[in-house]
């Protein structure tokens, strides 16, 4: 049986408490200090992954104990060392490929240095994350009666590894596209790449609020590490596919904006009876797309640096989507702010959109 490794880390204090209940009530500064001292460790043995083809694999979660802010704030060498240690641990457990979860693939050169220091293949999982983000966003748009070819879309974090390819592919499917991030010069470069790819010129802005005001479809994949999208930024009736971890959408959106559909991007049903032997916050059988990419490559015995660095090619996205289907991986149902979205929830959102429109018409005397 072939084996994979996947490097994890806690996304926030809720995650830390889930993994270590004794940390409940402790200050984040103290917890961060303890995490800083902790070495990489074996978190769990994953079993029960069974492809449609009958092939079975197993794997290990190897933890790299840092919180998201520590990946960007601590000295780069210190961060790389712990990620490499987690990768070496996976190697010693028999893994032939290791996936980089969360910020382990965001920091620095997006996995290139990590791969140079390991003897096994490394993948960020970003190709399958992109595939599922696009699939999820378009599926969600359909349920909200949005026709992509007539719609305006925005990609947040569009200069990033995930955001850029999402923007390239989405530009082919929507009427108009806006891309946003903080660096205008990088956005202009990406706009040129999108034009070369699809012949369509996107709007470019560093103003997040303005970029979202007219958007019917939003894919958000920033590495901000906090809820940068506020409730009043969003257009009534829009769909948002939030790929970022920690999420870009602030929690208040769930409470205040009952007229928008926010879904978590990159959630996948794993074929077989997978047992992760750890609770990372999702229902049984569900994994993140980046984890699933590592599993798919292991089932294919493709022990190569499939998605690495910030230059993911759209062809890779198509290839991994094909391989995912071959092995029986599929998009999990919609989830939003840690809860499953039902057909009734969607119906209520649409009702709220209609009610708001009616109110607006009355207030302007139509």
Ligand X SMILES: NC(=O)c1ccc[n+]([C@@H]2O[C@H](COP(=O)([O-])OP(=O)(O)OC[C@H]3O[C@@H](n4cnc5c(N)ncnc54)[C@H](OP(=O)(O)O)[C@@H]3O)[C@@H](O)[C@H]2O)c1
Q: Residues in the site for ligand X, rule: CB under 6 A?
A: 102-103, 105-106, 110, 125-126, 129, 157-163, 181-183, 186, 208, 221-224, 228, 243-245, 265-266, 288-290, 310
Q: What is the DSSP string of 58-91?
A: EEEEEE----HHHHHHS-HHHHHHHHHHHHHHHH
265 versus 271: smaller Cβ distance to ligand X? 265
89 versus 165: smaller Cβ distance to ligand X? 165
- State the nearest-atom distance from the C-beta of 54 to ligand X, in Å: 26
- The partner residues of 239 in beta bridges, in order of sequence, read 217, 261
Nearest residue by C-beta to ligand X?
A: 160
User: Three-class SS of residue 16?
Assistant: helix
32 versus 287: smaller Cβ distance to ligand X? 287
- What is the spatial distance between Cα 127 and Cα 175, in angstroms, rounded to a whole number? 24
- The partner residues of 287 in beta bridges, in order of sequence, read 268
User: Three-class SS of residue 112?
Assistant: helix
The secondary structure element, H or E, covering residue 296 is helix 289-299
8 versus 32: smaller Cβ distance to ligand X? 8
User: Three-class SS of residue 359?
Assistant: helix
- State the nearest-atom distance from the C-beta of 12 to ligand X, in Å: 12
CB 114 within 8 A of CB 80: yes
60 versus 280: smaller Cβ distance to ligand X? 280
- State the nearest-atom distance from the C-beta of 286 to ligand X, in Å: 11
- State the nearest-atom distance from the C-beta of 268 to ligand X, in Å: 8
- State the nearest-atom distance from the C-beta of 326 to ligand X, in Å: 20
CB 123 within 8 A of CB 295: no
Strand order in the sheet with 217-220: 203-205, 176-180, 152-156, 217-220, 239-242, 261-264
- What is the spatial distance between Cα 357 and Cα 342, in angstroms, rounded to a whole number? 23
CB 259 within 8 A of CB 347: no
- State the nearest-atom distance from the C-beta of 158 to ligand X, in Å: 6
182 versus 201: smaller Cβ distance to ligand X? 182
- State the nearest-atom distance from the C-beta of 230 to ligand X, in Å: 12
266 versus 271: smaller Cβ distance to ligand X? 266
129 versus 168: smaller Cβ distance to ligand X? 129
How are beta strands 217-220 and 152-156 bridged, if at all?
parallel
- What is the spatial distance between Cα 54 and Cα 327, in angstroms, rounded to a whole number? 9
CB 308 within 8 A of CB 290: no
Residues in the chain: 366
User: Three-class SS of residue 329?
Assistant: coil
- State the nearest-atom distance from the C-beta of 350 to ligand X, in Å: 26
33 versus 182: smaller Cβ distance to ligand X? 182
CB 63 within 8 A of CB 43: yes
- State the nearest-atom distance from the C-beta of 65 to ligand X, in Å: 16
102 versus 237: smaller Cβ distance to ligand X? 102
- What is the spatial distance between Cα 173 and Cα 200, in angstroms, rounded to a whole number? 11
Residues with Cβ within 8 Å of 145's Cβ and at least 6 positions away in sequence, in order, are 350
- State the nearest-atom distance from the C-beta of 182 to ligand X, in Å: 3
């Amino acid at each position: 049986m072939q084996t994979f490794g996947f490097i994890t880390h806690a996304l926030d204090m809720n995650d830390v408490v889930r993994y270590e209940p004794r940390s409940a009530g402790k200050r984040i500064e103290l917890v961060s200090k303890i995490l800083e001292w902790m070495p990489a460790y074996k978190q769990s043995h994953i079993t029960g992954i069974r492809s449609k083809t009958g092939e079975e694999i197993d794997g290990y979660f190897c933890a790299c104990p840092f919180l998201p802010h520590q990946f960007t704030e601590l000295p780069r060498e210190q961060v790389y060392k712990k990620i490499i240690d987690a990768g070496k641990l996976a190697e010693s457990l028999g893994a032939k490929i290791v996936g980089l979860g969360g910020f382990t693939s965001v920091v620095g050169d997006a996995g290139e240095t990590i791969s140079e220091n390991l003897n096994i293949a490394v993948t960020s999982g970003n190709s399958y994350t992109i595939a599922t983000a696009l699939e999820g966003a378009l599926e969600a748009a359909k349920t909200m009666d949005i026709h992509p070819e007539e719609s305006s879309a925005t990609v947040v974090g569009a200069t990033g590894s995930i955001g850029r390819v999402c923007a390239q592919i989405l530009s082919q499917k929507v009427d108009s596209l806006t891309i946003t991030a903080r660096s205008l010069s990088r956005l202009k470069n990406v706009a040129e790449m999108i034009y070369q790819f699809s012949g369509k010129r996107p709007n470019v802005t560093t103003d997040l609020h303005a970029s979202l005001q007219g958007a019917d479809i939003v894919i958000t994949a920033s590495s901000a590490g906090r809820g940068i999208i506020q409730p009043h930024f969003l257009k009534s009736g829009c769909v948002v596919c939030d790929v970022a971890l920690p999420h870009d959408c602030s929690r208040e959106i769930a409470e205040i904006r009952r007229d928008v559909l926010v879904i978590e991007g990159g959630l996948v049903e794993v074929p077989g009876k997978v047992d992760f032997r750890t609770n990372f916050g999702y229902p049984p059988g569900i994994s993140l797309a980046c984890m699933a990419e590592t599993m798919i490559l292991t089932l294919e015995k493709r022990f190569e640096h499939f998605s690495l660095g910030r230059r993911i090619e759209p062809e890779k996205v198509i290839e991994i989507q094909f391989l995912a289907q071959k092995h029986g991986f599929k998009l999990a149902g919609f989830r939003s702010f840690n809860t499953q979205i039902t057909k009734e929830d969607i119906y209520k959102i649409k009702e709220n959109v209609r009610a708001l429109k009616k109110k607006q018409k009355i207030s302007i005397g139509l």
